[in-house]
Structure 1
Amino acid sequence: MKTLLLARHAKSDWGLPGVTDHDRPLNSRGLRDAPAMAARLAEEGVPLRRIVSSTAARARGTAGEYATIFGLSVVEEEALYAASARTVLEVAAAIPDDVDVAMIVGHNPGMTDAVTELTGASVELPTCAVAECAVDIGSWAELIEGSGRMLRLRTPKDA
């Protein structure tokens, strides 16, 4: 059994002239929500063991908050920037098998679509949401569309 946490990055700052989409940082709400969500998962006892993030600044900033709380490093994956659901699931399928609980931090619409493809659940991930999905597999390489089930959707608003 594996657990995949599919997380959308926290709220980013659109008000910086000349900053590319890839380089947009978190805004004040994102800087508040990301550490709060990370602390919430830790308080709930989620045994997170690996974090894979898009290379975009807002995703790295979000992932960094989880890394700080859980004492982990962040693995950056360029393919997650503007990734499709298929790419998100391919990245997950490459997670080392000694990891039972992993998080991928990315962007919509790919993250929401990945939850739907993996679990069949029809959800929308707002910024900083985390979809916790159980996957009855022994190896991440076995991860395929429809192989998971939604356990819980956490959002900053329901804290």
Structure 2
Amino acid sequence: MTLRLILTRHAKSSWDDPLLPDHDRPLNARGQRAAADLGQWLASRGYLPGEVLCSDALRTRETWAGIAPALPAAPEVALKPALYHAGADVMLAVLRHATADCVMMVGHNPGIADFAQRIVARAPASADFARYPTGATLVADFSAATWAEVKFGTGAVVDFIVPREPAV
């Protein structure tokens, strides 16, 4: 059986209000456009999540809200406070409780970059993969019956994109 992970870092957030707590920062206009573009990209390639695990921060929720309208039958989002600035080990622990064959996770750096690097067997040929800029999205497949079986270093890269960049 093949399981698919769509791993997305939140789109570009606003720093307009320096007094706003980090957790409450919204997307800026560029981030809103990038999230909508990511939704179109996912839909055009048939990368359709059956489950969405999302940090409960405003910018990750707004990223999913920008993606969802482009997807046919977009699933409800499951907000996961543990994903807010989570490290790779926490991200894997959250993923292991997923139940859909195709799961999307929306999170933050630096943890999401580390998780992306550690979850795949071989990184894609992209200079941006290691730094995982805002909006970066990895699609990886796993030969496993359940997410509980997934381990680091076992994912096969299917696709990787950074908004405004060509897919690799």
**TM-score (normalizing by structure 1):** 0.93
CA distance in structure 2 between the partners assigned to 1:133 and 1:23 by the alignment: 30
Aligned partners of 1:3 and 1:134 also within 8 Å: yes
User: Is 1:82 matched up with 2:118?
Assistant: no
SS of equivalent to 1:156:
coil
Deviation of residue 72 (structure 1)?
Answer: 2.0
Cα deviation digits, residues 34-81 of structure 1 (max 9, x gap)? 011111110112232111100110011001222332232111000000
Deviation (angstroms), 1:120 = 3.9
Which of 23-32 and 10-19 deviates more? Answer: 10-19
Partner of 2:43: 42
| Aligned residue identity for 1:51 | V
Please say which of residues 121-130 and 100-109 is displaced more in the overlay. 121-130
Structure 1 residue 121: Cα displacement: 3.8
Query: Identity, % of aligned pairs?
Result: 35
Query: Distance between the aligned counterparts of 1:47 and 1:32, measured in 2?
Result: 19
After TM superposition, the runs of 4+ consecutive aligned structure 1 residues lying more than 6 A away are none
| Coordinate RMSD, CA, aligned | 1.3
3-state secondary structure, aligned to 2:113: helix
**1:6 equivalent in structure 2:** 7
Tell me what 1:142 maps to: 149
What residue is the counterpart of 2:126 in the other structure?
none
Write the mapping of 1:15-34 to structure 2, written as runs, cut at 5 A.
15-34=16-35
Indicate if the aligned counterparts of 1:8 and 1:130 stay in contact, CA closer than 8 A: yes
SS of 1:26's equivalent in the other structure is coil
User: Which residue identity is paired with 1:92?
Assistant: L
Q: Gaps (5+ residues) in structure 2?
A: 124-128
User: 1-side partners of 2:60 and 2:48: how far apart?
Assistant: 21
Contact map agreement 1:52 1:105 (CA 8 A) in 2: yes
**TM-score by structure 2 length?**
0.88
Q: Which amino acid aligns with 1:89?
A: L
Output the CA distance in 2 between the equivalents of 1:149 and 1:72. 24
1:37-76 correspondence runs (5 A): 37-70=38-71, 71-76=74-79
| Alignment pair present for 1:154 and 2:161 | yes
Cα distance in 2, alignment partners of residues 121 and 65 from structure 1: 30
- For residues 134 and 19 of structure 1, the distance between their equivalents in structure 2, rounded to whole angstroms, comes to 38
CA offsets, 1:70-111, max 9 Å, x none?
Answer: 232111000000100111111111101xx1111100001111
Establish whether residue 112 from structure 1 lines up as the match of residue 113 from structure 2: yes
Matched letter for residue 47 of structure 1: L
Higher helix share: 1
Name the CA distance, whole Å, in 2 between partners of 1:17 and 1:118: 34
CA distance in 1 between counterparts of 2:103 and 2:150 reads 13
